[in-house]
DNA sequence: CTCCGCGGTTTGAACGATCTAATACAGGAC
DNA sequence: GTCCTGTATTAGATCGTTCAAACCGCGGAG
């Protein structure tokens, strides 16, 4: 009800009979203040329920402790979920580290860069979190060139060869997709499967090729690489997954499908179930997905889960270090190991 | 590369040979400035690529044009998707209206209220967007009591009776769930179905009861209310949906299921398909969901879609009006009509 | 001729914090 | 007693903007 304005440094100072600066010191470098005085000031702060105005502080120090994040475009797909969970974790971790997350939108990379500049110029945002990095991404270059702190969720997928040799690698965190599909494939091998096909995206996407590599490695380790079967879809999607699965299952000996995403896996699952009714004689076919989206849980699909919480924690750590001017305090790159969530689609035949 | 600091009002003023205040006026109330001068100042602004420092402005005017939003808790369910899409639309609309969205997290309503206060006191956030309002929600009361601008996505679900008669209704936007299930039910009636069951949540949740009411109304309008069959699940979820569907389909004459959510519908769909193989003689059963999540598209499920874009646009409009001090410029409540997306699960039997 | 009113512009203070430099004071060396 | 050193605290300037009031020149009324 009461409209009275909040207390300021000056109010607290008067109340504790010290100067503004002493109050400021109590908050920012308590060690320079005599214990007696400090105590008195802290009491005054508590009594008045004083809280520093971060806007004024920001104007003076040119530090906002705010991170910008382009709202990940709604992919309409099922896997978009991962980014939403990441956003949640990021907000959480940032808050814990004394940072805030501010959102914005942009239609493409160029617009996003314009928005970086705008946000820096007008609101003094301290850093950015990038998602969905891709080959030849202009955003990372711009940010690096302008000395803006940032971290990307996703590796730079450029050819190592094309870049200048200076290895100006920026800070990033990513999921080790290769380890994920490797784990899924090993799990299937352990269960006795010998002919395991991979349903993937078109060649050329960094993420997709990485996941493909993990499956291949596991087969090679088991001495089964000669028999590797791959079927690529045109695009991510449930219908595409079903089509690819049908193509793969033409071969009678194929008993398991490792899928590059939950969407594809969902389609594969439908194809597999149809096959089970039309050809009851055939051995049951196991399926694994990738991302562990809510749908995977719903249809009891084994899937590779991305620990987005860990990714977010690491991203915040990296950004905080850059903002505080100690960019090399921590390793600037982190590859996080996903884990397999085993569900019904890979359990022993019923 | 160049580290030189950005131009300020003073820089522009010097460049255009006017005072700071005149530059400020050109930006904020151009009509008080002589066209000649205005022209000159605008040229200087363009030449220097000047952009006002919103932090300094905020300190002086005590307006931030920033909205706070508690990151919707990840429901793990499939329907959580809706809030993510809303968040995206909100960011978009806010940006268009000159507002920004800042995120925070909180574990419960009390913590959320503490965070409101904290954000107001320290960063001077101008308003809040609430999601997932529920019965006896303490947040709306606190915000209203403290004269903080806010809009909720979701009606206040309190009993109209218990409140004081003053109808201190706050600003809100919501989806007309009743109209949604009504449309779905009518669609089924038009297709010739006569025994349409409803699979819903436990009684007592505002949203669930609202959706239930729409189904009942449609049946009553068709003179079929006497035969209404309802089955409630214990909780939202795919397994629960399957169980409820099986209970409903015990009656042989039931040929359609209207579901309160896509999760339930997904389960129902599985049950229906199983039934189709075990009893091929029986008429095919139609299913509708609610939310039109990506999964619905994936499994070809007819579902009621929430136009979250419209909700977001309206929410921003309402907040902007409050922040600008004209709280009654627009209707403070808006009920938005969802629409039905017809897909395979309600098409004529194959 | 003086004075008033008025539109356009300028000046100085204020928002609430931090930075820099100055000050007060106590204790020790000579 | 004087001077120096070092520590705890204070005063004033500053960040970039907007608010409030003052200023200035000019035309018209008295």
DSSP states along B41-92: HHHHHHHHT----HHHHHHHH----EEEEEPPP--SSSTTHHHHHHHHHHHH
Query: What pLDDT does residue A261 have?
Result: 95
Query: What pLDDT does residue A23 have?
Result: 97
Mean pLDDT throughout A299-313? 96
The token pair at B61 is 């005017």
Quote the mean pLDDT of chain A. 91
Which of A25-29, A232-236, B88-92 is least confident? A232-236
Higher pLDDT residue, B349 or A64?
Answer: A64
Q: Is pLDDT above 60 for A161?
A: no
Query: What pLDDT does residue A167 have?
Result: 45
- Mind listing the pLDDT tens digit for each residue in B270-300? 999 889 888 988 989 999 999 999 889 888 9
What element of type H or E holds A318?
A: helix A308-323
Mean pLDDT throughout B222-248? 88
Residue of B52, B76, B95 lying closest to A294 (CB–CB): B76
Query: What pLDDT does residue B3 have?
Result: 52
Which of A213-222, B99-108, B227-236, B318-327 is least confident? B227-236
- What is the number of other CB atoms lying within 10 angstroms of the CB of residue B69? 22
Query: What pLDDT does residue B166 have?
Result: 43
Is the CB atom of residue B60 positioned under 7 angstroms from any atom of strand C?
yes
Is the CB atom of residue A19 positioned under 7 angstroms from any atom of strand C?
no
CA A292 to chain centre: 14
Question: Whole-number Å distance, CA A118 to C1' D10?
Answer: 39
Residue whose token pair is 């395979």: B344
Quote the mean pLDDT of chain B. 91
Mean pLDDT throughout A165-189? 88
Distance from CA of B227 to the nearest CA of A (A): 32
Q: How confident is the model at residue A157 (pLDDT cuts 50, 70, 90)?
A: confident
Task: State the count of interchain CB pairs (< 8 A) between A and B.
Answer: 124
Contact B229/B253 with Cβ under 8 angstroms?
A: no
Is the CB atom of residue B61 positioned under 7 angstroms from any atom of strand C?
no
- Mind listing the pLDDT tens digit for each residue in B127-172? 999 998 888 899 999 999 999 999 999 999 876 544 444 446 899 9
Distance from CA of B81 to the nearest CA of A (A): 8
Mean pLDDT throughout A38-54? 97
Which chain A residue is nearest to residue B240, measuring alpha carbons?
A298
Residue of B55, B81, B299 lying closest to A58 (CB–CB): B55
- What is the number of other CB atoms lying within 10 angstroms of the CB of residue A139? 20
Q: How far apart (Å, rounded) are the C-alpha atoms in residues B233 and B241?
A: 7
Query: What pLDDT does residue A166 have?
Result: 43
- Residues of chain A numbered 96-115 and touching chain B (CB < 8 Å): 100-105
Mean pLDDT throughout A178-204? 96
A6 — contact with chain B (CB < 8 Å)?
yes
The token pair at B281 is 């003689």
Q: How far apart (Å, rounded) are the C-alpha atoms in residues B53 and B8?
A: 8
Contact A262/A239 with Cβ under 8 angstroms?
A: no
Contact B102/A85 with Cβ under 8 angstroms?
A: no
* B59 neighbourhood in chain A, CB within 8 Å: 53, 55-56, 59
Mean pLDDT throughout B169-178? 95
A263 — contact with chain B (CB < 8 Å)?
yes
Distance from CA of B226 to the nearest CA of A (A): 34
Start and end residues for every CATH 3.40.50.2300 domain found in chain A: 66-176+308-337, 177-305+340-346
Q: Could you write out the DSSP letters of every residue in B117-146?
A: HHHHHHH---EEEEES--TT-HHHHHHHHT
Which of A76-80, A239-243, B83-87, B317-321 is least confident? A76-80
Residue of A118, A238, A295 lying closest to B78 (CB–CB): A295
Q: How confident is the model at residue A168 (pLDDT cuts 50, 70, 90)?
A: low
Mean pLDDT throughout B223-239? 85
Question: Whole-number Å distance, CA B25 to C1' C19?
Answer: 31
Query: What pLDDT does residue B347 have?
Result: 84
Class of the domain covering B177-305+340-346: alpha beta
Mean pLDDT throughout A20-33? 95
- Residues of chain B numbered 20-49 and touching chain A (CB < 8 Å): none
Q: Is pLDDT above 60 for B83?
A: yes
CB contact under 8 A, B59 and A54: no
- Tell me the percentage of chain A whose pLDDT exceeds 90: 76
Query: What pLDDT does residue A4 have?
Result: 67
Which of the nucleotides in strand D have any atom less than 7 Å away from a protein CB atom? Answer: 8-12, 14-21
- Residues of chain A numbered 298-317 and touching chain B (CB < 8 Å): 298-299
Distance from CA of B86 to the nearest CA of A (A): 10
Distance from CA of A311 to the nearest CA of B (A): 17
Question: Whole-number Å distance, CA A142 to C1' C18?
Answer: 31
Which of A248-262, B160-174, B217-231, B307-321 is least confident? B160-174
Q: Could you write out the DSSP letters of every residue in A15-74?
A: HHTS-HHHHHHHHH-GGGS-HHHHHHHHHHHHHHT----HHHHHHHH----EEEEEPPP-
Contact B104/B68 with Cβ under 8 angstroms?
A: yes
- What is the number of other CB atoms lying within 10 angstroms of the CB of residue B329? 13
Query: Minimal CA–CA distance to A331: which of A318, A322, A312?
Result: A318
CA atoms within 13 A on the CB side of A304: 28
Q: Report residues 197-226 of B contacting strand C, contact meaning Cβ closer than 7 Å.
A: none
* B55 neighbourhood in chain A, CB within 8 Å: 55, 58-59, 64, 123-124
Q: How far apart (Å, rounded) are the C-alpha atoms in residues A122 and A119?
A: 5
Tell me which CATH homologous superfamily contains domain B66-176+308-337: Response regulator (3.40.50.2300)
- Mind listing the pLDDT tens digit for each residue in B107-127? 999 999 999 999 999 999 999
Query: What pLDDT does residue A248 have?
Result: 93
Which chain B residue is nearest to residue A107, measuring alpha carbons?
B92
Mean pLDDT throughout A58-77? 90
Q: How far apart (Å, rounded) are the C-alpha atoms in residues A159 and A37?
A: 60
Q: Indicate the CATH number of A9-52 among 2.60.120.260, 1.10.260.40, 1.20.5.510, 3.30.390.50.
A: 1.10.260.40
CB contact under 8 A, A101 and B105: no
Sheet of B127-131: strand order equals A333-336, A172-175, A150-153, A127-131, A66-70, A100-104, B100-104, B66-70, B127-131, B150-153, B172-175, B333-336
Question: Whole-number Å distance, CA A322 to C1' D29?
Answer: 70
Which of A257-271, B144-158, B301-315, B322-336 is least confident? B322-336
Instruction: Return the DSSP state at A346.
Output: G
- Mind listing the pLDDT tens digit for each residue in A68-104? 999 987 776 777 788 989 999 999 999 999 999 999 9
Residue of B6, B53, B74 lying closest to A88 (CB–CB): B74
Q: Work out the burial of residue B228: count CB atoms within 10 Å of its CB; fewer than 13 is exposed, 13-18 middle, 19 or more buried.
A: middle
Contacts of B285 (CB under 8 A, 6+ apart): B249, B254, B255, B256, B257, B272, B275, B276
Mean pLDDT throughout A115-135? 94
Which of the nucleotides in strand C have any atom less than 7 Å away from a protein CB atom? Answer: 8-12, 14-21
Question: Whole-number Å distance, CA A9 to C1' C28?
Answer: 37
Query: What pLDDT does residue B161 have?
Result: 44
CA atoms within 13 A on the CB side of A174: 22
Per DSSP bridges, beta strands A172-175 and A150-153 are parallel
B19 — contact with chain A (CB < 8 Å)?
no
Sheet of B196-200: strand order equals B229-232, B196-200, B256-259, B286-291, B302-305, B339-341
Query: Minimal CA–CA distance to A323: which of A52, A59, A66, A24?
Result: A66
Q: How far apart (Å, rounded) are the C-alpha atoms in residues A83 and A89?
A: 10
Question: Whole-number Å distance, CA B9 to C1' C22?
Answer: 31
Which of A298, A299, A306 is the best substitution to test chain B (most B C-beta atoms within 10 A)? A298
Question: Whole-number Å distance, CA B58 to C1' D21?
Answer: 22
Q: How far apart (Å, rounded) are the C-alpha atoms in residues A187 and A157?
A: 28
Distance from CA of A62 to the nearest CA of B (A): 9
CB contact under 8 A, B299 and A238: yes
Sheet of A256-259: strand order equals A229-232, A196-200, A256-259, A286-291, A302-305, A339-341
């Amino acid at each position: 009800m009461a409209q009275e304005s909040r207390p300021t440094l000056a109010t607290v100072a008067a109340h504790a009979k010290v100067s503004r600066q002493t109050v400021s010191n109590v908050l920012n470098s308590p060690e320079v203040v005599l214990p007696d005085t400090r105590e008195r000031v802290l009491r005054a702060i508590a009594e008045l329920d004083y809280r520093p105005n971060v806007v004024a502080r920001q104007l003076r120090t040119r530090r906002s402790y705010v991170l910008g994040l382009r709202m990940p475009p709604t992919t309409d797909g099922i896997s978009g979920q991962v980014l939403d969970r990441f956003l949640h974790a990021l907000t959480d971790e940032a808050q814990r580290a004394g940072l805030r997350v501010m959102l914005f939108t942009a239609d493409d990379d160029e617009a996003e860069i314009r928005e970086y500049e705008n946000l820096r110029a007008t609101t003094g945002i301290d850093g950015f979190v990038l998602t969905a990095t891709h080959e030849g991404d202009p955003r990372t270059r711009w940010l690096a060139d302008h000395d803006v702190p940032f971290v990307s969720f996703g590796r730079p997928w450029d050819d190592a060869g094309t870049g200048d040799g200076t290895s100006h690698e920026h800070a990033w965190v990513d999921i080790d997709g290769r380890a994920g599909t490797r784990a899924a494939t090993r799990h299937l091998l352990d269960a006795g499967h010998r002919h395991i096909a991979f349903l993937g995206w078109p060649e050329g996407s960094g993420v997709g090729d990485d996941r493909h590599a993990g499956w291949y490695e596991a087969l090679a380790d088991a001495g089964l690489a000669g028999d590797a079967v791959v079927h690529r879809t045109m695009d991510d999607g449930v219908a595409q997954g079903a089509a690819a699965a049908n193509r793969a299952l033409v071969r009678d000996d194929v008993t398991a499908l490792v899928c590059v995403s939950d969407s594809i896996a969902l389609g594969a699952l439908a194809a597999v179930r149809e096959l089970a009714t039309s050809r009851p004689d055939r051995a049951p076919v196991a399926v694994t997905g990738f991302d562990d989206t809510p749908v995977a849980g719903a249809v009891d699909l084994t899937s590779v889960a991305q620990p987005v919480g860990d990714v977010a924690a690491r991203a915040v750590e990296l950004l905080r270090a850059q903002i505080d001017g100690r960019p090399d305090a921590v390793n600037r790159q982190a590859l996080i190991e996903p884990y397999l969530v085993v569900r019904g689609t890979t359990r022993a035949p019923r």
